[in-house]
Amino acid sequence: MAITFFFLSILSLLQPTLAAFGITTVGNAFAVDTAGGLVFHVSKATGDITSLMYRGTQYQASDKQTQINSGLGASSVSSRMVGANYAVITVKSNGNPVTQYYIAKSGDSKIYMGTDIRGEVQPGELRFLARLRKGPLPNGVHHPSADNAGGTAIEGKDVFKVGSQTRCKFFSSTRFIDDVVHSIHGNNVSVSLIMPEGAYETASGGPFMRDINNQGTSDQQEFYYYMNSGHLRTEPWRMGFKGPYALSFSREDPNGKLDTSFFEKLNIPGYVPASGRGHVTGTASGVPLKFQTVLHWHNPQNQYWTYADKSGTFKSPAMKPGTYTMILYKQEYKVATSSVTVRAGASTSANIANAEKPYTPVWRVGEFDGQPFELKNGDRFLKMHPSDSRLSKWGGTFTVGTSSAKDFPMAIFGKEGGPATVNFSLNATNANGAFTLRVGTTLSFKGGRPQPKIGAWTPPPPKVPRDLNSRGITRGGYRGLGEVYDFAIPAGTLKAGPNTLTLGVAGTGDQGYLSANYIVDAVELIHGK
């Protein structure tokens, strides 16, 4: 007896902060103590999170709550325990086809979540938004790129200038394929959103979609997980259960290997456990090693992706059964498409090969890889507005043989920086015959598309590309529909000796950087048609 008592006393000395796990009521809120250092409150009226106490510090902002979108409004909010170790708060919106789940696991310091939508949510996008106090969390995602404190809005109420630097919440984004954990930090604390494998399966936009992760204001960190949005949207939204994902509190950044298999025990509609899923395995061949090899599967209900390893071997995430379009990308450039059917409990083998036909261009600027990063300003535009003084001057001349890709602008604007110019020389033999000028783009804004000119040759502008009706490069965006344009250059246009190509913009749009523009993937000249 005495020994047992002594032993228990030692245990309680070692773990002084552990409180009882469970759900109580405080005011008009459910209070969940995770017994892992985190206590959170969920309003019984709206389902908003109204308090986030972690190890004695309040992280929840006081004037705005943590919620789906900007709040689901009046909701039916209920709580239940599942066994002794799980607490589930269910928020069913009265006005929107949304059910949000907040789940705690005993001894953990995370809020596990799932978001189920059965129709479009007003005002037309879907995101989880934690509004946190900036005091204890001064450093945002990609800090300070998305911190607008003390700044002046210079475009659309969301791009700011702080001192000499431009800032924008879109500069906090990361490609979904890489966005497994994003964190904001304070002294000895990391608050993170964790999107483990499968979290994006009913989001939209594919592996290279990027969206807002964070905005720092004078007193708050707005901390986001975007599921559906209209930001450079390329495909319809998906409905259904989204997640699991988690808001995590810890001393150091968590990794993305989050075990959410316990959702199986929670009886949550729409959640599909591992036993109801299958895989696709195989080899992706023909993508040169200097590029990432990316596999993507999608249908109207679900989407998945993975990287292949250096030998091209891949295994998909655990997928829901169904028939999928399967795409192979060379970095972000689509090089093969096929179809594959996934069955629950089974692994389907499906190899895929790069379908590009090899050829040698007369010259090429950049790489056809679906990204503008190797071109001028391509290394910085993700976190800077094109007017930012830290960027190099737009426009410019690329001289074949002596210039590097960094001399060619990654974006060409109708009313800023002038056209891009390519100077090149041909000899009497290779100037003969017809040529093709190929211009690969990743994104078009306001109908912006290439308008080439060589001497007196100016072809009619290509047809107007589909407008995504969303700002692009001015918010660090580069991925759109990826139009590639082939212009037939008639024989006799190019001559022996020096030639000059200018690449301007056809399209309309506003003034300055909101004039019609396009983002360049690569440009090349090919002998023949």
- Alpha carbons 227 and 233: distance in angstroms, whole number: 12
Size of the site for ligand NAG (CB under 6 A): 10
- Cα 182 from Cα 508, distance rounded (Å): 37
Which of the residues 418 through 457 are near ligand NAG (CB under 6 A)?
Answer: 423, 427, 429-430
Cα–Cα distance for residue pair 79/4, rounded to 1 Å:
36
Nearer CB in complex with ligand NAG: 17/187? 187
367 and 355 Cβ atoms separated by less than 8 Å: no
Per-residue binder mask for ligand NAG (CB under 6 A), 188-217, x = binder: x-----------------------------
Least distance between ligand NAG and beta carbon 185 (Å)? 12
| Radius of gyration, CA atoms only, the chain | 26
Q: List, in sequence order, every residue forming a beta bridge with 33; answer none if it has no partner.
A: 22, 39
Nearer to ligand NAG, 1 or 13 (CB): 13
Contact 203, 303 (CB under 8 A): yes
| Intra-chain end-to-end CA distance of the chain, in Å | 92
Residue 17 binds ligand NAG (CB under 6 A) = no
Q: How far is the CB of 60 from ligand NAG (least distance, A)?
A: 21
Smallest gap, in angstroms, from Cβ of residue 449 to ligand NAG?
24
Angle at 403 between CA 401 and CA 405, to 5 degrees: 115
CB neighbourhood size of 168 (10 A): 28
d(CA 211, CA 207): 12
Q: Report the distance separating Cα 172 and Cα 439, nearest Å.
A: 29
The 342-381 contact track toward ligand NAG, x by CB under 6 A, reads ----------------------------------------
Q: Does 392 bind ligand NAG (CB under 6 A)?
A: no
CB of 365 to ligand NAG, least distance (A): 14
Binder among 4, 17, 164, 187 for ligand NAG (CB under 6 A)? 187
Nearer of residues 285 and 425 to ligand NAG, judged by Cβ:
425
Measured distance CA(32)–CA(194) in Å, rounded: 20
Residue closer to ligand NAG by CB (options 106, 425) is: 425
* 5 three-class SS: helix
List the interface residues with ligand NAG, window 488-507 (CB under 6 A): 498, 500
Q: Kindly tell me which of 77 and 137 has the beta carbon lying closer to ligand NAG.
A: 137
Nearer to ligand NAG, 17 or 427 (CB): 427
Question: What's the DSSP call for residue 12?
Answer: H
Binding site for ligand NAG (CB under 6 A): 187-188, 397, 399, 423, 427, 429-430, 498, 500
